[in-house]
């Protein structure tokens, strides 16, 4: 996709990041540096953003793996500054499958929170 950088594949699913995500890191870095003037705090806040994005990837993988269970392929997981999107090949035919795929993402977040 245009404007996206491929980070690699997890379980055969392409992980892509939009270039505007770099702006988010720069912006957070500048704001933190202006507030604290401390480079260490800048690195910590940017690290937190990356950890947050890793959680978003896991959340989207939750959707993707549940979809895979119903034989629905996920083309890619894309990361935007506002969050992530798992692009499924098709919409599940059964409402119950759609519900389970929708619930799989937040379930991952609950598990991460418990850990
Ligand atoms: Zn979700």
Contact 70, 104 (CB under 8 A): no
The DSSP H or E segment spanning 17 is strand 13-18
**Ligand 1 center–CA 98 separation, angstroms:** 12
Q: What residues have their beta carbon closer than 5 A to ion ligand 1? A: 105
Of the listed 6, 16, 60, 90, which one is catalytic? Answer: 60
Q: What is the mean pLDDT of residues 8-29?
A: 93
What pLDDT is attached to residue 7? 93
Could you tell me the two tokens for 51?
């950890």
Q: pLDDT tens digit string along 60-90?
A: 999 999 999 999 999 999 999 888 999 999 9
**Ligand 1 center–CA 57 separation, angstroms:** 10
22 pLDDT tier (thresholds 50, 70, 90)? confident
To the nearest 10°, report the CA torsion of 44, 110, 107, 20: -20
Strands 13-18 and 83-88: unpaired
32 labelled catalytic: no
Residue with tokens 């705090």: 41
């Amino acid at each position: 996709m245009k404007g996206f950088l491929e980070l690699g594949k997890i379980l055969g699913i392409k992980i892509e990041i939009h270039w505007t995500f770099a702006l988010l890191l720069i912006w957070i870095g500048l704001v933190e540096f202006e507030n604290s003037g401390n480079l260490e705090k800048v690195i910590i806040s940017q690290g937190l953003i990356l950890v947050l994005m890793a959680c978003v990837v896991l959340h989207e993988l939750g959707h993707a793996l549940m979809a895979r269970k119903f034989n629905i392929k996920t083309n890619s997981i894309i990361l935007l500054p506002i969050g992530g999107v798992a692009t499924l090949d098709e919409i599940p035919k059964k409402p119950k499958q759609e519900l389970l795929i929708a619930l799989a993402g937040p379930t991952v977040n609950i598990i991460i929170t418990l850990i």
